[in-house]
Amino acid sequence: MGVLSMIPTFTIRPRDYVESHVTMRSPREFSRPDWSAGLALRASTEIAADRDAAVAERSALEAGRTDLMLTGTVDDVADLEHRIAVAKVRIDQAEMQHAAAVIAEAKAKADHEAEQTRRRALRKQAMKASAEVGRMANDYLAAAGKLVTLLGQIRERERLIAEANGNLPHDAEAVPPGEPFNGKAGTPSRHETTVEQIYSGMGDDRRPTYRKHPTTTFTPSVPEEPHKPLSARVYLPGLGRDAAPLWGVRYYVNGEPR
């Protein structure tokens, strides 16, 4: 986006519009017209061009005023005076709009330059960060290589533990995973019966009697969540779109990587 496209514009009214709204009346008789209807936005250069055209027109009209006073009718002179007044209004209006447009354009240009300065500084910082990320990516590959070796050693021992737990001797406890257990113990389903004493009336001895009302509650089982070994939980991506993972497999849940 260029600077000029960001600069505010102002309006200058066409000659026939001004002529239709300006009359030779006193200020008390003058009513403010609606200037906002059907007006196109103009830049300061266009306003200046219309101002210069109005100045030239007024000069030409005033130059012929003396001859018209000698040879013309009253209506001719009145019409000329009206045209001169309209040209004067156009000049005054253009001068005010041009001054406002120049100020607004200067502010817009300054704001644009300030924004560009901010963006250039931001990009400079980002370029430095990009270079740092490149160096850090190389550090990641070096660190990931060490982790891959360590994870391979951990996986060998995890397989040994799993094999031993699958072939335990009689009455032997399972071998712990070594790392903190991250699974969840399950619970079996169960039925619990409670007995409630319910009032059943008055006995022959005029004492309240009660009857037993058993209630059975069913609690469903909670499945066990097995321990997931460390080597199966780690994922180390390669660099680049088509690079193979350095370690592990990326899991997806509802289309989202996990």
* Higher local confidence (pLDDT), 2 or 125: 125
CA distances from 51 to 13, 64, 95, 101, 187 (A): 11, 20, 7, 13, 92
* Higher local confidence (pLDDT), 156 or 19: 156
* Cα–Cα distance for residue pair 112/8, rounded to 1 Å: 12
Structure tokens at 154: 């951990």
What pTM value is reported for the model?
0.54
CA 76 to chain centre: 65
pLDDT at 195: 85
- 229-238 contact pairs (CB < 8 A, 24+): 229/154, 229/155, 229/158, 229/177, 229/179, 230/151, 230/154, 230/158, 230/179, 231/151, 231/152, 231/154, 231/155, 231/158, 234/147, 234/151, 236/144, 236/147, 236/148
pLDDT in tens, 79-109: 989 999 998 998 988 888 898 889 989 999 9
Helix (H) or strand (E) holding 140: helix 74-165
